[in-house]
Structure 1
Amino acid sequence: MVLMIEWSVTLAAIAFIFLVIFLILTLRKLMETIAETKETLTDARKSVTSITDEAEELIHEANKISDDVKGKMEAVDPLIESVHDVGDMLHDVTSSIKRTALKNENRKTIHTQDKEQNQPVRIKLK
C-alpha cells in the first residue's frame, strides 16, 4: 500500500511539474504578445497624432477656401442681379414687340418707316 501511495505522489509531482512548465510557456507567450500589442499601440498613437495634425491643417485650409469663395460670391452678386435685370428688360421689350406685331393686320411682318431714307423696313417674325 505504501508503494501505491509513493507512486501516486510521484505521478502527482510529475503532473504538477508538467503543469508548471506549461504555465511558464504560456505566460512567456502571453508576455511576447503583450509586448507586441504595446508596440502596435505606440505606433497607432503616433499615426493618429500625425493624421490629427494633417486633418487640422486640412480643415484650416478648407475654411480659408470657403471664406474666399464666400467673399467672391458676395462680390459677384450685384453683377448677377444686373444681368437678371437686363434679362427682365429684354423679356419686356420682346413681349412688347410681339404684342405690337400681333395688333397689326399682317401678323408675320412689322412695317416701320426708315426716316432717313423714307423707305419701309420690314422685320419678319417666325
Structure 2
Amino acid sequence: MPAHATDIAKVLATPAAEALIERLRERHGPLLFHQSGGCCDGSSPMCYPQDDFIVGDRDVRLGEIAGAPFYMSPSQYEYWKHTQLIIDVVEGRGGMFSLENGEGVRFLTRSRLFTDEEVEALQAAGRF
C-alpha cells in the first residue's frame, strides 16, 4: 500500500521517551525540543520549558513528540531530511541545559532512512 504523507512522522518518540517527557511536563509545564547542532552537548535532543527557549525564525518544526513541538536548524534539517528521527531514552547524564539533566537518563536521537516511497509521498505533500 502506498505511503500517505499524513501517516509519515518526521519525528517520533519511544514509550520510554514519552514517559520521561510526561514526568518533565508535570514539573516544568509545556515543553519543546530542539535538536542540538553539536556544540556543548554533542548532537543531543534538548528539552526545554517552552517559555525558556526562543525558536529561530528559520528553524524547522519536524512535528511533536508526546505533545511537545520538535525543532532543528535549517542546515541540520537539510542534512537529516531523509531520515525519521526516533527519540529514545538511555542511561547516562542528560545535556547540560536539557531538563532531563540530573535524572540519570538522557534523551538520545536514533534515526532510520525514509523509504523511497515515503520520500515521494512527503515530496508530493510539500513536506520534504
- Give the TM bin, normalised by the shorter chain: under 0.3
When the two structures are superposed, what TM-score results if normalisation uses the length of structure 1? Answer: 0.13
Q: Which one scores higher on RCO, CA 8 angstroms, separation ≥ 6? A: 2
> Quick check: which one's helix share is greater?
1
TM-score under structure 2 length normalisation: 0.13
Larger radius of gyration: 1
